[in-house]
Structure 1
């Protein structure tokens, strides 16, 4: 196996693990991360034996920043076969809670900017590049592997913006991911429960670990590995604390209320299809 990959958030956590896995399969990686020092450290580790990785500083919530880095990756590699929008952050105060304040403050939607808009930017870059490429040996122009969260289908009342962003990513994959195979492109999402990364505090992770509630990062990496050359698309894979016993569980979308609702969406599919055809 061989190829070229673009990863956001590859300086640590899941992104770092995915980069390591890809290199084992002779896939060269380009890491885009706001932590350029961390990204460079990963690149140096991966390049110990041969030149297989490079990186760039990127603000995923900024289109120009992502486009510049992605263009550099294309220039370095000639083509991109795998794209992983992994960069993300956790919930923060969005609506100020100060009853004594005068006037109104704009909500902080940074989480939405990074966890949703940033993903949409990465997906857009990937699809535009894939459309320019001929299919590879696996018959695909390219594959996209998103990292969402179990908050993409479960709801946490105190994490509203994060939950909204992850619901949106799941909706994107379940919808667009079912269309993209028409263009020989696949897109899936992995939704892990809580993994020990740098998105939260050590004390929070320690609390979960005491109750055996942490999800092994290997579950995400293993599932992405199994999807490398699969034709599967538009699927959501849940990875939970019991991954070693349960494996990756495919979470199906909501069933239609009735046959009329199903038929309505068949009509909607054909109405929207021209939006994705060549101009």
Structure 2
């Protein structure tokens, strides 16, 4: 398997990269963190590409690196993500808003667009990291929640469109996971007694999702529950 992982230098991306490498996959790790990305790539025998996923050309360069190094692409794991910490009132921060939408949403849109030619040739798979915040409202970070709702809508919408090309599209939707994205929320969650997911559990669900035959599914990862695709209720139709 030839796999591209955005946000691959640490957290969920790195956990999945270790598992894929152990299974013999050929990897391209794409991340803005050059030190961590290069170091991990060296450990795994992978290719590192500096990639700001909010820039279309960087996504295209990452896919080109996979094709150049390994001859194709079988899996695009579009995993990079950031939070904002801002609301829409006096605390609104335009730069934080643009960054979150650029990384969380554009990063998936651009990643899919860049990877489609190579994945069409291989009949490959796209996995986008969304979040449980894409299924519920999050008062502490509504912009982050909105971006993840958009990712889930994109995955569900693309599934049927890409199925004729043999491409599967899935969403990984973890609850609060033990990654740097938690930031200052880590202490608050501990105070509230809210369990934090080990990244190993998120990686376990990633491989369940990868092994499934489904497409357009949104796999939840919640402490103490067995992961599965979320069963969206059917919307009421016209009478």
Tell me the TM-score normalised to structure 1 length.
0.79
Q: How do 1:1-279 and structure 2 match up within 5 A?
A: 3-47=1-45, 53-93=46-86, 95=88, 97=90, 108-131=97-120, 133=121, 135=122, 141-201=123-183, 204-209=185-190, 211-242=193-224, 246-258=225-237, 260=238
Offset at 1:93?
3.1
CA contact under 8 A between 2:171 and 2:219: conserved in structure 1?
yes
Deviation for aligned residue 1:254: 3.6
SS in 1 for 2:169: strand
- Cα distance in 2 between the residues matched to 1:19 and 1:250: 22
Name the CA distance, whole Å, in 2 between partners of 1:111 and 1:162: 7
Q: CA deviation at 1:204?
A: 2.9
Per the TM alignment, residue 209 of structure 1 is displaced from its structure 2 partner at its CA by 4.1
Contact 2:170 2:217 in 1 (8 A): yes
Unaligned 5+ runs, structure 2: none
TM-score between the two structures when normalised by the length of structure 2:
0.91
Larger RCO, structures 1/2 (Cα 8 Å, 6+ apart): 2
Contact 1:219 1:248 in 2 (8 A): no
Q: Is the 8 A contact 1:219 1:247 kept in 2?
A: no
Following TM superposition, by how much is the alpha carbon of 1:146 offset from its aligned partner in structure 2, in angstroms?
Answer: 1.0
What SS does structure 1 have at the residue aligned with 2:111? Answer: helix
Larger mean Cα displacement after TM superposition, 6-15 or 153-162? 153-162
**Aligned-pair CA distance for 1:92:** 3.4
Highest CA radius of gyration, 1 or 2?
1
Q: Using a 3 Å threshold, how does the CA distance of structure 1 residues 197 and 226 change in structure 2: closer, same or farther?
A: same
Following TM superposition, by how much is the alpha carbon of 1:253 offset from its aligned partner in structure 2, in angstroms?
A: 2.5
